[in-house]
């Protein structure tokens, strides 16, 4: 039963979930384009797993509808949905062999070629050699791949991955990230990946929805989220941010606007400033700040910490007003600064992002201006 | 071999060519010490009586003139010829009671395992609560519950105008040849009912243990993989609870097969079980060799059946 093509969109319409004591997911709309690798990213308790479970049919939404293509699947049970999940705990059946685990879904659907397809899928995840073993005899990474094979063998409309790499060590996780991406492009199924690891989400996903407190803070491709975060939460949750308290002091001239931060005059790209905003946060990523005066905006400070990581050097630079900025200097041969040295930091207009100052500066936790 | 020159006085087992053992191999006594009380117990209360029984069954003579160990095994053949119906009946009653216990106990154990916190503990205490009263008293209680004249069930039903339910049930039992005369008490049905009642907790507790350990996420995963609730039960819940099913059925079947209280208190002369025969041969007829031979036959039969059953169930493959 190949059924509907795996290219149909998943649409959540005003979906919400309330538990007895709290609201896990605020009413939200979300469309996941068919065939895409989509990530739901957020800290624990942000409602991402609850959203996933509602799509899987393991949790009934309090309000809202779930559609796959033209079909409304809101009222259907988990076993009636052409949606499969890779569980965080893998949830492999301990009394079945790897092959039986993988063939389980197809057998329930009455597929007469279940075993053949299961073998092919084990091939895809490079586990054909352990087909007759029990899950307990496999390593964590192998179990993870069995769980993946058990889900994709069914060619679901949507594949849900609930923190699937959470239990793996760092090196294995990197491998599996690449592996997952490869498998996704090979099978062309819509993947929805739930994770709290921003790097993982950015590495793998075409589109990321950043969730916080039961709602979607921002939706976009990884580069947009990183370069133009819409909120301090997103700015801090995705990578490091230096947030400077600033005021817009004039109108745009040649595409840049004058601003003042702690009595330093700086220029910001006009198209980055939301209309009519005066009190703002100017956010600059550590790798956009440069040591030296090559950039148009310049601030002086003193290096308080320098750590060399090989690829780059990471500095903490104290500002005259007490705040420390983080700077990442690529190991590109430019001179390195030592601790205690007075340095000039600079960046060019357009390398910053501008946010409303009424937002909590420490949302999502990061470096903030006092 | 150079090893020999430095071979320690302690007799070292031939372990192939190895470096000389400098450290004297110390025998750790602790495990044996810990095992000793249990082993002693088994020797005194299990091995010794077994040997005595075996020897008794191979003796000949009578109470007045004493018994002599002759080693004549004919008594086994005689015992089998005389009492095979009781043996077959015992195994049948015990088998039915075991199946009934499983049918009653499984949903109950599943329900308890699915509860949380306090209510779970209360339910578990309720399961073992009957053990606070003696086995004999509890079985006698069923006499006064089921009796046709003045029994509590008959009286209560009669009190609310449902006396006919009791009577009709008796007639039904008679139709099904489960009661000789339409009486509920003193019928094969009552014996099986008593066995089921008495051994039900031995079924529930192991079932509960394996169902309680069952990972709920596996059931979710099965549902996610297109298994209907019924298929989830068949392919996931049931196989994973098999260790509990096997130990529960063994703990029910084995004592039920040798039971002699239920058939005596709740049955009639046509429901005599093998335990009852052994009891009367030992204590009333005083034919010790025959009684001992019957005991051994029963033991051998049960061990054989259990062996086949456990092999069939393939529990060793389960985690």
- CB contact, 8 Å: A94 with chain B? yes
SS3 A191: strand
Domain carrying residue B239: 83-147+185-317
- CB contact, 8 Å: A50 with chain B? no
Retrieve residue A193's tokens.
């990946």
Q: How far is CA B89 from the centre of its chain?
A: 16
CB contact under 8 A, A79 and B227: yes
Cβ-count burial A284-294 (b if 16+ within 10 Å, e if not): bbbbbbbbeee
CB contact under 8 A, A108 and B319: no
- CB contact, 8 Å: B318 with chain A? yes
Question: Which chain A residue shows the shortest CA-CA distance from B234?
Answer: A108
Collect all residues of chain A within an 8 Å Cβ-Cβ radius of residue B215.
Answer: 89, 91
Please tell me the predicted confidence (pLDDT) of residue B20.
52
Band the pLDDT of B298: cuts 50, 70, 90.
Answer: very high
The ipTM (two decimal places) reads 0.80
Band the pLDDT of B10: cuts 50, 70, 90.
Answer: very low
To the nearest whole number, what is the mean pLDDT of chain B? 87
CB contact under 8 A, A85 and B224: yes
Domain membership of residue B90 (yes or no) is yes
CB contact under 8 A, B217 and A78: no
Band the pLDDT of B314: cuts 50, 70, 90.
Answer: low
Looking at the predicted structure, is the pLDDT value of residue B207 above 60?
A: yes
Mean pLDDT of the region B73-94: 92
Rounded-to-integer distance, Cα B253 and Cα A169, Å: 49
Q: Whose CA is closest to A34, among A206, A224, A223, A245?
A: A206
Q: How many CB atoms lie within 10 A of CB A126?
A: 12
Task: Give the CA distances from residue A50 to residues A30, A40, A62, B214, B287, in Å, rounded to whole numbers and listed in that order.
Answer: 14, 11, 11, 23, 73
SS3 B226: coil
The minimum CA-CA distance between B12 and chain A, rounded to whole Å, is 36
Please tell me the predicted confidence (pLDDT) of residue A91.
93
CB contact under 8 A, B225 and A94: no
Mean pLDDT of the region B68-78: 87
Q: To probe the interface with A, which of B219, B224, B315 has the most A CB atoms within 10 Å?
A: B224
Mean pLDDT of the region B262-281: 91
| B217, B229, B319 ranked by CB distance to A136: nearest | B319
Task: Give the CA distances from residue B276 to residues A114, A347, B189, in Å, rounded to whole numbers and listed in that order.
Answer: 55, 98, 17
Retrieve residue A306's tokens.
């320098």
Retrieve residue B21's tokens.
């053992």
Rounded-to-integer distance, Cα B227 and Cα A106, Å: 10
Retrieve residue B168's tokens.
């009709």
DSSP run (H or E) holding A303? strand A297-308
Mean pLDDT of the region B305-318: 74
pLDDT one-digit tens code per residue, A106-140:
999 999 999 999 999 998 888 889 999 999 999 88
Please tell me the predicted confidence (pLDDT) of residue A363.
67
CATH architecture of A10-227: 3-Layer(aba) Sandwich (3.40)
Please tell me the predicted confidence (pLDDT) of residue A4.
42
- Higher-confidence residue of B134 and A264: namely B134
DSSP string of B41-84?
HHIIIIIHHHHHHHHHHTEEEETTTEEEE---THHHHHHHHHHH
- CB contact, 8 Å: B224 with chain A? yes
Please tell me the predicted confidence (pLDDT) of residue A302.
84
Domain membership of residue B61 (yes or no) is no
Rounded-to-integer distance, Cα B129 and Cα B102, Å: 19
Please tell me the predicted confidence (pLDDT) of residue B313.
76
The dihedrals phi and psi of A107, each to the nearest 5 degrees, come to -65, -40
CB contact under 8 A, B319 and A95: yes
Rounded-to-integer distance, Cα A79 and Cα B228, Å: 6
Looking at the predicted structure, is the pLDDT value of residue B15 above 60?
A: no
Residue A13 and residue A27 in contact, taking contact as beta carbons nearer than 8 Å:
no
Please tell me the predicted confidence (pLDDT) of residue B290.
92
pLDDT one-digit tens code per residue, A147-186:
999 998 998 999 999 988 877 788 888 888 888 888 888 8
Strands A367-368 and A242-248: parallel
Please tell me the predicted confidence (pLDDT) of residue B297.
92
Band the pLDDT of B7: cuts 50, 70, 90.
Answer: very low
Retrieve residue B234's tokens.
């068949």
Q: Catalogue the E-assigned strands of chain B.
A: 59-62, 66-69
Band the pLDDT of B293: cuts 50, 70, 90.
Answer: very high
For residue B96, the number of C-alpha atoms closer than 13 Å in the C-beta half-sphere is: 14
- CB contact, 8 Å: B29 with chain A? no
Rounded-to-integer distance, Cα A359 and Cα A369, Å: 13
Rounded-to-integer distance, Cα B186 and Cα B173, Å: 12
Strands A83-86 and A158-162: parallel
What is the count of structural domains for chain B? 1
Looking at the predicted structure, is the pLDDT value of residue B91 above 90?
A: yes
Domain membership of residue B111 (yes or no) is yes
Please tell me the predicted confidence (pLDDT) of residue B19.
52
Retrieve residue B56's tokens.
């008794």
CB contact under 8 A, B240 and A95: yes
Domain membership of residue B159 (yes or no) is no
| A80, A91, A150 ranked by CB distance to B220: nearest | A91
DSSP run (H or E) holding A318? strand A312-318
Contacts of A241 (CB under 8 A, 6+ apart): A229, A232, A235, A283, A284, A285, A366, A367
| A92, A95, A108 ranked by CB distance to B226: nearest | A108
Looking at the predicted structure, is the pLDDT value of residue B16 above 80?
A: no
Please tell me the predicted confidence (pLDDT) of residue A329.
86
Looking at the predicted structure, is the pLDDT value of residue B206 above 60?
A: yes
SS3 B36: helix
Please tell me the predicted confidence (pLDDT) of residue B25.
65
Rounded-to-integer distance, Cα A137 and Cα A129, Å: 13
| B217, B220, B227 ranked by CB distance to A108: nearest | B227
pLDDT one-digit tens code per residue, B24-59:
667 788 888 999 999 999 999 999 999 999 999 998
CATH number, residue B210: 1.10.3720.10
Domain membership of residue B162 (yes or no) is no
Per-domain boundaries in chain A = 10-227, 240-368
| A89, A105, A136 ranked by CB distance to B226: nearest | A105
> Which of the following CATH numbers is that of domain A240-368: 3.30.1320.10, 2.40.50.140, 3.40.1350.10, 3.40.50.2300?
2.40.50.140
Domain membership of residue B271 (yes or no) is yes
Q: Whose CA is closest to A366, among A229, A219, A266, A193?
A: A229
Residue A270 and residue A264 in contact, taking contact as beta carbons nearer than 8 Å:
no
Structure-token match 């049970």, residue found: A77
237-276 in B: which are within 8 Å (CB) of A?
Answer: 239-240
DSSP run (H or E) holding A346? strand A342-347
Question: Which chain A residue shows the shortest CA-CA distance from B221?
Answer: A91
Rounded-to-integer distance, Cα B66 and Cα A365, Å: 94
SS3 A88: coil
Share of chain A above pLDDT 70, in %: 96
DSSP string of A225-281?
HHHS-SSHHHHHHSS--EEEEEEE-S--BTTEEEEEETTEEEEEEGGGSPTT--EEE
CB contact under 8 A, B224 and A108: no
Rounded-to-integer distance, Cα A198 and Cα A176, Å: 16
CB contact under 8 A, A94 and B319: yes
- Higher-confidence residue of B117 and B316: namely B117
Rounded-to-integer distance, Cα B241 and Cα A188, Å: 38
Rounded-to-integer distance, Cα A86 and Cα A165, Å: 10
Collect all residues of chain A within an 8 Å Cβ-Cβ radius of residue B231.
Answer: 108
Domain membership of residue B63 (yes or no) is no
CB contact under 8 A, B224 and A89: no
The β-bridge partners of A67 are A11, A72
Domain membership of residue B113 (yes or no) is yes
Mean pLDDT of the region B137-145: 92
The minimum CA-CA distance between B199 and chain A, rounded to whole Å, is 29
Using a 10 angstrom Cβ sphere, with 0-12 exposed, 13-18 middle and 19 or more buried, the burial of residue B5 is exposed
Q: What is the mean pLDDT of each run of 10 residues along chain A (370 residues)?
A: 60 91 90 91 89 92 92 91 91 94 94 92 89 92 91 91 84 84 87 90 91 91 90 87 83 78 81 78 87 82 86 87 85 81 85 81 57
DSSP letter for A3, please: -
Q: To probe the interface with A, which of B116, B214, B225, B317 has the most A CB atoms within 10 Å?
A: B225
- CB contact, 8 Å: A60 with chain B? no
Collect all residues of chain A within an 8 Å Cβ-Cβ radius of residue B228.
Answer: 79, 108
């Amino acid at each position: 039963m190949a059924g509907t093509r795996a290219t149909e969109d998943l649409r959540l319409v005003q979906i919400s979930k309330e538990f007895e004591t709290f609201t896990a997911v605020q009413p939200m709309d979300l469309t996941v384009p068919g065939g895409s690798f989509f990530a739901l990213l957020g800290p624990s308790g942000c409602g991402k797993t609850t959203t996933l479970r509602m799509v899987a049919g393991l949790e009934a939404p309090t309000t809202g509808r779930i559609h796959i293509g033209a079909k409304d699947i809101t009222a259907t049970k988990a076993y009636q949905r052409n949606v499969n999940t890779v569980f965080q705990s893998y949830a492999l059946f301990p009394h079945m062999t790897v092959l039986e685990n993988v063939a389980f879904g197809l057998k329930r659907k009455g597929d007469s070629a279940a075993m053949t397809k299961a073998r092919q899928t084990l091939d895809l995840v490079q586990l054909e050699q352990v087909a007759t073993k029990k899950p307990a005899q496999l390593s964590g990474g192998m179990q993870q791949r069995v769980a993946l094979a058990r889900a994709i063998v069914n060619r679901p409309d949507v594949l849900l991955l609930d923190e699937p790499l959470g239990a793996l060590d760092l090196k294995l996780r990197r491998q599996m990230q690449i592996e997952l991406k490869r498998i996704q492009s090979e099978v062309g199924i819509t993947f929805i990946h739930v994770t709290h690891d921003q790097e993982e989400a950015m590495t793998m996903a075409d589109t990321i929805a950043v969730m916080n407190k039961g709602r979607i803070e921002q939706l976009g491709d990884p580069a947009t989220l990183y370069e133009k975060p819409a909120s301090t939460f997103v700015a801090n949750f995705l990578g490091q941010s230096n947030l400077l308290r600033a005021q817009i002091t004039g109108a745009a001239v040649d595409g840049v606007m004058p601003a003042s931060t702690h009595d330093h005059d700086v220029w910001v790209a006009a198209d980055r400033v939301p209309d009519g905003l005066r009190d703002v946060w100017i956010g600059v990523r550590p790798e956009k700040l440069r040591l030296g005066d090559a950039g148009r905006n310049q601030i002086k400070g003193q290096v308080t910490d320098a750590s060399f990581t090989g690829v780059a050097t990471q500095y903490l630079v104290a500002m005259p007003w007490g705040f420390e900025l983080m700077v990442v200097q690529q190991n590109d041969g430019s001179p390195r600064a030592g601790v205690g040295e007075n340095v000039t930091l600079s960046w060019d207009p357009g390398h910053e992002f501008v946010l409303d100052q009424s937002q909590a500066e420490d949302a999502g936790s990061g470096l903030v201006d006092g | 071999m150079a090893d020999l020159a430095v071979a320690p006085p302690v007799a070292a087992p031939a372990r192939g060519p190895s470096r000389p053992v400098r450290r004297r191999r110390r025998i750790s006594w602790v495990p044996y010490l810990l095992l000793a009380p249990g082993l002693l117990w088994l020797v005194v209360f299990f091995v010794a009586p077994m040997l005595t029984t075996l020897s008794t069954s191979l003796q000949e003579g009578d109470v007045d003139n004493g018994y002599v160990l002759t080693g004549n095994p004919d008594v086994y053949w005689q015992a089998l010829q005389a009492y095979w119906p009781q043996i077959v009946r015992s195994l049948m009653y015990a088998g039915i009671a075991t199946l009934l216990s499983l049918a009653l106990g499984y949903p109950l154990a599943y329900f308890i395992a699915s509860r949380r916190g306090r209510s779970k503990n209360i339910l578990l205490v309720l399961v073992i609560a009957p053990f606070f009263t003696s086995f004999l008293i509890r079985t006698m209680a069923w006499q006064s519950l089921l009796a046709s004249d003045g029994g509590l069930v008959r009286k209560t039903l009669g009190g609310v105008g449902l006396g006919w339910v009791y009577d009709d049930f008796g007639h039904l039992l008679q139709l099904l040849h489960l009661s000789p005369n339409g009486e509920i008490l003193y019928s094969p049905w009552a014996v099986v009912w008593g066995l089921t009642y008495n051994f039900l907790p031995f079924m529930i507790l192991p079932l509960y243990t394996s169902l309680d350990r069952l990972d709920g996420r596996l059931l979710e995963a099965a549902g996610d993989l297109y298994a209907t609730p019924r298929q989830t039960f068949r392919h996931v819940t049931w196989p994973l609870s098999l260790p509990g099913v096997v130990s529960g059925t063994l703990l029910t079947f084995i004592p039920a097969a040798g039971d002699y209280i239920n058939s005596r208190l709740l049955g009639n002369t046509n429901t005599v079980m093998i335990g009852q025969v052994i009891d009367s041969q030992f204590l009333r007829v005083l034919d010790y060799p025959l009684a001992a031979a019957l005991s051994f036959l029963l033991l051998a039969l049960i061990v054989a059946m259990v062996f086949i059953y456990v092999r069939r169930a393939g529990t060793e493959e389960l985690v």
